[in-house]
Amino acid sequence: MASALRKPGEVCWLNILTPEPAQARHFFATLLGWTYVDTGIGHTVQVDGHDIGALFDLAGPNTPKGTPPLIGLMVKVMSADGAAERVRTLGGKARPPFDIGSAGRMSVCHDPNGAELDLWEPRSLQGMDVDASAQGAPTWFETMTTDVDRAAKFYSALFGWTARSTGAESLTFEFEGRPIGSATRWTLAGAQAYWATYFAVKDAELLSRQAVQLGAEVFLPVMAVRDTRVVGICSPQGVPFYVMQRVG
C-alpha cells in the first residue's frame, strides 16, 4: 500500500502507554526501527519519517489508575460528538468528547463487547499517512472479542466496514474494498475484549529471535495465517503487540 493519509473510518493513530518509556523507546527502535520526536509530554513515533502515533509514560498524570501497558487505537471520524452519540446508540459506551488543544477532538469509547477504540476528529493533527507495508508500520488490526457477530454489526454500522466471515468464530473487516482488520472470538476465561495491533516486518522468524534477545517474551510463536506469518510479542516493559510478515 502506498503512503496515504487515512480517511474517516480508518485507524489513524496509535497511543502507546508503557512503564520505563526510555527503555521502551530503545526496544522498539532496535526491533522495529522506530524513531522519535520529543513533544515535552511524550514522544511522537515515526516510521520512515512518517508519524504513526505517540509513546507516553504509563505513570503520567493523565493515565487512569490501573491502566495496563497497551497500544491504543484511534479511528478518524468527521465529528467526534456525532460518532460518540452513534457509539451509544449502537450499544457501546462513549465518554463526552474533549479537545486536545488545536490538534483535534477525541472521545474514549468501548464497543458493546468492552474493547476500547477511541475516536479522533482531526484539526491540525490529521494522523498517519505511512505506507502500511513499511518495516515497523501498523499494518493490521484485530479485535479479540467475546462476540464476533455483535462486533461485526457494531463496526459495520459505525464506520461502514464490511464484515466477511473467515470461519465459525472469525471474520475480516474491509474498508472501501480493502481488508484492514479482523475479529476473532477470545476464548480465554475472564479475558477482556481488546484491539491488537500488528506491525509489518520482512522476516517474522528473525524478528522473533531478536525480540527475545532484547528481553521480550514471545507469547505466540511464528504461526502461518493464510498468506502471512505472525508472531505475538510482549515487550520487556509489558506492552503486547504482534508482527506480520506477508508471504503471498
Write down all domains in the chain, each with its CATH number in brackets: 11-122 (3.10.180.10)
The candidate with the shortest Cα–Cα distance to 242, out of 154, 165, 193, 181, is 181
pLDDT tens digits along 174-193: 999 999 999 999 877 677 89
63 band by pLDDT with thresholds 50, 70 and 90: confident
Q: Which three cell numbers stand for residue 218?
A: 514471545
- Per-residue pLDDT of 110-147, as tens digits, reads 999 999 999 999 999 999 999 999 999 999 999 999 99
Binned at pLDDT 50, 70 and 90, residue 2 comes out as: low
- What local confidence, expressed as pLDDT, does residue 1 receive? 46
Mean pLDDT of 12-38: 98
Residue 82's pLDDT is what? 98
- Closest to 97 (Cα-Cα) out of 69, 111, 77, 115: 77
**Considering the entire predicted model, what is its pTM?**
0.96
Residue 65 has phi, psi (to 5 degrees) of: -60, 135
Q: For 41-55, how does the pLDDT look when each residue is reduced to its tens digit (9 = 90+)?
A: 999 999 999 999 999
